[in-house]
Structure 1
Amino acid sequence: MAAIDIRRLSSEDRQDWEALWQGYNRFYKRSVEDRVTERLWDRLIAGTGEPFGFGAEIDGRIRGFAHYFFQSSSSDWNPRCYLQDLFADPDTRGIGVGRVLIEAVYAEADRHEAAQTYWLTEDSNATARLLYDRIGKQTRFIKYMR
C-alpha cells in the first residue's frame, strides 16, 4: 500500500483537487457555480482564512480532500470545528484516505482547543458511514433548512 501524505493544498494541486471536487459534487447530486469553486480554491490555497483544507497525497497526486471551518458557539467557550467536505477518490477507497483526513482535522481541532468536531452526511451514504461509525458518534439531531 502506498503511503498517504496529508498536507495543505498548493497551487500545483489544482487539477487533482478540481477533479475530486467535481466527483464530490456529482456524488451529492448538486451543482456548484464556477465562481463558488474559484472562491473556494483561492481561499484554500491562500491559507489566510476559512475554509481550511487538507489534501491526501498518494504517489505525487492528491487523492482526497477535507475542508473545514471553525465556528463560535452559543453553548461552548471554545469554537467548534465543522468538517464540511470530505472526499476520497473512489479508486483509493478502503486504504484509509478518509480516516487520515478526518484524523488531520481532529488534530487541527485539538490544536485550536475546539469543543467538538462534527460533520454531516446523507443517511444513505452507507460506505462513508461505516468509517464514521468507527471514529465518531451519531447525534440525535436532525438537520432542517430553508
Structure 2
Amino acid sequence: MVLNNNDVGGMMQISAATENDKAAWLPLWRAYLDFYKQALDDDITDLTFARALDDGESLNLLVAKEGDTVIGFATYVMHRSSWARAWYCYLEDLFVDEAGRGKGVGKALIAAVAEAARQKGAERLYWVTDEANTTAQALYEKVATKTDFIQFRRDL
C-alpha cells in the first residue's frame, strides 16, 4: 500500500517499510524511545524491525517519507477480538519527526493504518497514549473517539 499526500507541505508517501528503510527509520525510533524515556537493547530494535517486515508476524510498520527521508512511522498489530467476527487493529507506535509535526503527517499515518486495517478486514482501530501527551491527544480527538477505558498492566 502506498498513500501519496500533497497536503503536508510537500510530496509525502506512506508505505510499508522495507529493509532499505531501516537506516532512515532508526533515528526516529530512537527519538520515539527517548520521548517515552525507554531504553531498549539494539537486539530488541533489530528484532522489532525484522518482525515488522515478516509477513508471518502480526506486527506491521508504515513509514512516511518525503523523498528518501523518513519523517514519521506507525506500527500496528492485527488481532482477533472476543467481541466481534472481524479483526481489530491496535496502533502500537506513532511518531513524527519534530520538523514534520503540525503538518498532517500524524493524521496521514493514522489514516494509512486505518486503510491497511480495513483492507485486512478490521472493524476497529484503537490505541493508547500517555495522559501527559496533550499534543497527540489534540490530534486524536479529531480523528477518533476517546473512550472511558483505563489501561492496566502487569509485567510477567
Quick check: TM above 0.5?
yes
Pick from 141, 145, 156 the counterpart of residue 137 of structure 1: 145
Once the two structures are TM-superposed, the CA of residue 47 in structure 1 deviates from its matched residue by 3.8
Once the two structures are TM-superposed, the CA of residue 4 in structure 1 deviates from its matched residue by 1.1
1:10: which partner in 2? 18
1:48-63 alignment runs, 5 A limit? 48-63=56-71
Q: Residues 58-99 of structure 1: CA distance to partner in whole angstroms, max 9, x if unpaired?
A: 132111000001111111111110000000001110111101
In structure 2, what is the Cα distance between the partners aligned to 1:74 and 1:12? 37
Query: Which amino acid is 1:17 matched to?
Result: W
Once the two structures are TM-superposed, the CA of residue 48 in structure 1 deviates from its matched residue by 3.9
1:81: which partner in 2? 89
User: Identity, % of aligned pairs?
Assistant: 34
In structure 1, what is the Cα distance between the partners aligned to 2:61 and 2:100? 19
In structure 2, what is the Cα distance between the partners aligned to 1:48 and 1:62? 25
2:110: which partner in 1? 102
In structure 2, what is the Cα distance between the partners aligned to 1:144 and 1:75? 19
Structure with the higher strand share, 1 or 2: 2
Deviates most, 64-73 or 38-47: 38-47
TM-score (norm 1): 0.95
1:39: which partner in 2? 47
Once the two structures are TM-superposed, the CA of residue 22 in structure 1 deviates from its matched residue by 0.3
In structure 1, what is the Cα distance between the partners aligned to 2:37 and 2:17? 25
Instruction: Report the RMSD for the aligned CA atoms in angstroms.
Output: 1.1
2:3: which partner in 1? none
Q: Residues 28-55 of structure 1: CA distance to partner in whole angstroms, max 9, x if unpaired?
A: 1111222211111112233442211110
Q: Size of the alignment, in residue pairs?
A: 146
On the 8 A contact 1:2/1:59 being kept in 2, the answer is no
In structure 2, what is the Cα distance between the partners aligned to 1:144 and 1:44? 25
Which secondary structure state, in structure 1, belongs to the residue aligned with residue 17 of structure 2? Answer: coil
TM-score (norm 2): 0.89
